[in-house]
Amino acid sequence: MVGRQLAKRMRMALAAIVGLSLGVAAPAVADGEVNIYSYRQPFLIKPMLNAFTQQTGIKANVVFAPKGMIERLKREGRNSPADMILTVDIGRINDAVEADVLQPVKSKKLLANIPSHDRDPSGLWYALTRRARVVYASRERVKPGDLSTYEALADPKWKGRICIRSSQHVYNVALLASLVAHHGEARAEEWAKGLKANLARKPQGNDRAQVKAIFAGECDISLGNSYYMGNMLTNEKQIAWAESVFVFFPNQQGRGAHMNISGAGVTKHAGRKENALKLLEFLSDDLAQKMYAEQNFEYPVKPGVPWSGLVESWGRFKADTIDMTKVARNRAAAIRIFDRVGIP
Ligand code: FE
């Protein structure tokens, strides 16, 4: 009876949140459901969740939580209706690990579908998609032969020619964390100093705003996540920005381009752990992987799943396969370095 009341309370809590964010009511049946808190936008994940429901009969309720998701999970504790979180960036995933809001899960299918460098060794989280942090370069003012590695972006030949978003943004922190992991803190700091000296302007805007700046002639190269090329090419107002640049994958003679991930984990107090695991397996498998890749122009984590045609057109490339937990471990050092060097 108590369990039933609790389930009802959780349903009501979820209905309130879902109702607020998506304008829909939670379904009446508690069995055969799974509740997700998502940093990812509903339009990106809805098609996959619908396919999951079709295949399993399990209803997937999603609460879009762009901010404060971890704080909410902590506050709700055992009463949280959430069974799973979906988020982007190794930093945000690591925050969830450190906040102790996840529980380990494992299955043969997950281990087979997701390479070991893209998941937590104990099963607290699994990557579901990958994105490369690439160089966007002016078609007019830069030749592919001028570019080589992330390290070479500190070369004085780029003085006044590079645009980036805030150094404190999770994407740039992860990139520098990977440099710390590969070279140590001292060399990573030297690199950051070189990068700072080459900036065309104070870091501002998002990844796409840097490409816009290249289009406007304010700088010649920038750093950005690969899927933004797809986003810009399918956005009428941004096609011109995209067409003014080409995508360059750095470090192809060495370790490969820096990759970041989107990922998922089962919450510590999941009331429907079995269903959450089923959903996680579904999202790691061929159908969902292909849909994911098409939806947001990302790279599937499961080897052998086809890329979207547009993503394929930027070319196959060598990806850095450093363990993402190592990148996570060096985030704090990366933030300190950007602070010391004084890149805003
Ligand atoms: Fe993004």
- DSSP-assigned letters across all residues of 201-227: S---S-HHHHHHHHHTTS-SEEEEETH
Residue 121 CA to ligand 1 centre (angstroms): 25
CA 225 to ligand 1 centroid distance, Å: 7
Ligand 1 centroid from CA 170, angstroms: 10
Residue 5 pLDDT > 90: no
Taking the centre of ligand 1 as the mean of its atom positions, its distance from the CA of residue 67, in whole angstroms, is 14
Kindly state the DSSP code that residue 146 receives in the 8-state scheme: G
Q: If you measure from the C-alpha of residue 292 to the centroid of ligand 1, how many angstroms do you get, rounded to a whole number? A: 14
CA 212 – ligand 1 centroid, Å? 16
* pLDDT tens per residue, range 12-23: 444 444 434 443
- Spatial separation of the C-alpha atoms in residues 246 and 144, rounded to whole Å: 9
Averaged pLDDT for residues 83-108: 96
Going from N- to C-terminal start, the domains of the chain cover: 2-130+259-312, 132-258+318-339
Stretch 205-227: mean pLDDT: 98
CATH architecture of 132-258+318-339: 3-Layer(aba) Sandwich (3.40)
Using CA atoms, how far residue 89 sits from 61, 63, 137, 253, in Å, is: 22, 19, 24, 25
The mean pLDDT value for 288-294 works out to: 93
Q: Which two three-digit tokens encode residue 261?
A: 């991930």
CB neighbour list of residue 91: distance below 8 Å, 6 or more residues apart = 170, 173, 174, 328, 331
How many angstroms is it from 228 CA to the middle of ligand 1? 7
pLDDT of residue 61: 96
Instruction: Output the CA 313–ligand 1 centroid distance in Å.
Output: 20
Cα(8) to ligand 1 centroid in Å equals 36
117 is written with which tokens?
């460098």
| The one-letter amino acid at 326 | K
Flag the least confident range among 25-34, 78-87, 164-173, 244-253.
Answer: 25-34
Ligand 1 geometric centre to CA of 12 (Å)? 32
pLDDT of residue 31: 58
Question: Does residue 9 surpass a pLDDT of 80?
Answer: no
Mean pLDDT on 184-201: 98
Model confidence at 169: pLDDT above 70: yes
- Calpha distance 274→83 (Å, rounded): 9
Q: How far is the CA of 284 from the centre of ligand 1 (A)?
A: 20
Q: How many whole angstroms separate alpha carbon 120 and alpha carbon 98? A: 13
pLDDT tens for each residue of 119-162: 999 999 999 999 999 999 999 999 999 999 999 999 999 999 99
Q: Please report which helix (H) or strand (E) contains residue 7, including its range.
A: helix 2-22
CATH class of domain segment(s) 2-130+259-312 = alpha beta
The DSSP letter of residue 326 is: H
pLDDT at position 27 = 42
CA of 10 to the centre of ligand 1 (A): 31
Q: What residue type is 305 in one-letter code?
A: V
Do the first three CATH levels of 2-130+259-312 and 132-258+318-339 match, i.e. the same topology?
Answer: yes
Distance 9 CA to ligand 1 centre (A): 35
Give me ligand 1 centre to Cα 3, in Å.
40
C-alpha of residue 40 to centroid of ligand 1, in Å: 10
